[in-house]
């Protein structure tokens, strides 16, 4: 969800106003995803690297997130959204942890769409933790397979992402689902996240539909 800060700054607003607009935009994109039949939507809300930001901004992001989860969960639940958290609760404030846990518990049987909120998430840490977990469970690491490791990641048995959308003109992975997105199609747009609405999502899906996904094969063998 990149570009919240720049969205605010071109309007002469504080960065947190951009984060608020960006958070409000999740609903817009989620509804559009439901409409077109996307089954999994993952939003990257706070990376393990975002701890390097000023304390006041971090605190603002945490309280915004807790507020939004508490406010939106009943409605998400009514609409068949399953809320899932990718990442770790270490060092997060108690009220945010409680909000995340209760949203997960309430919505766990919903099947229309899964909303993964990547919060305090990092792809490298995801891989390291998965391997540590396997080692701790006494698994024979010398026989480790890609499938088995994949299942121990934060995304569990979910399908790999087909499309990764990067807003605000950035062209980096930024440690986002680096294992899971190995064969994802990438789409980058200059649009700031708070302005990335239904039309922009449809445009990204249109671009995606035009790609030929070869997964290492040659095109005419598909």
Catalytic residues: 2, 50
Q: At what angle do helices 15-36 and 198-209 cross, to 10 degrees?
A: 60
Q: At a CB cut-off of 8 Å and minimum separation 6, what does 18 contact? A: 3, 4, 5, 6, 7, 8, 9, 192, 194
Residue 2 interacts with Mg ion (CB under 5 A)? Answer: yes
Choose between 169 and 197: whose C-beta lies nearer to Mg ion.
169
Residue 4 interacts with ligand IPE (CB under 6 A)? Answer: yes
Please give the Cα distance from 222 to 58 (Å, whole number): 46
Residue 119 interacts with ligand IPE (CB under 6 A)? Answer: no
Choose between 45 and 86: whose C-beta lies nearer to ligand IPE.
45
Piece in contact with Mg ion (CB under 5 A), picked from 2-10, 16-24, 49-57, 205-213: 2-10
Please give the Cα distance from 35 to 41 (Å, whole number): 13
Q: What element of type H or E holds 93?
A: none
Residue 196 interacts with ligand IPE (CB under 6 A)? Answer: no
SS3 44: strand
Residue 45 interacts with Mg ion (CB under 5 A)? Answer: no
State the residues that interact with ligand IPE by CB under 6 A.
1-6, 19, 22, 45-46, 50, 61, 168
Enumerate binding residues for Mg ion (CB under 5 A): 2
């Amino acid at each position: 969800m990149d570009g919240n800060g720049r969205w605010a700054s071109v309007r002469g607003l504080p960065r947190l106003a951009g984060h608020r607009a960006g958070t409000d935009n999740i609903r817009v994109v989620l509804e559009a995803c439901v409409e077109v039949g996307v089954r999994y939507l993952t939003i990257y809300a706070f990376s393990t690297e975002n701890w390097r930001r000023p304390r006041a901004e971090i605190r603002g992001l945490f309280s915004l997130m807790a507020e939004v989860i508490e406010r939106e969960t009943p409605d998400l639940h009514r609409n068949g959204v399953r809320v899932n958290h990718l990442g770790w609760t270490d060092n997060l404030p108690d009220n945010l942890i409680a909000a995340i846990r209760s949203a997960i518990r309430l919505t766990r049987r919903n099947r229309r769409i899964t909303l993964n909120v990547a919060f305090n998430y990092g792809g490298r840490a995801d891989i390291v933790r998965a391997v540590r977990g396997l080692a701790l469970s006494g698994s024979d690491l010398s026989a480790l397979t890609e499938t088995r490791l994949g299942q121990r990641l934060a995304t569990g048995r979910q399908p790999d992402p087909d499309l990764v959308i990067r807003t605000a003109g950035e062209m980096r992975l930024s440690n986002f689902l680096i294992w899971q997105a190995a064969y994802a199609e990438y789409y980058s747009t200059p649009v700031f996240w708070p302005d990335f609405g239904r039309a922009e999502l449809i445009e990204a899906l249109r671009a995606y539909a035009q790609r030929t996904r070869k997964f290492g094969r040659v095109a005419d063998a598909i």
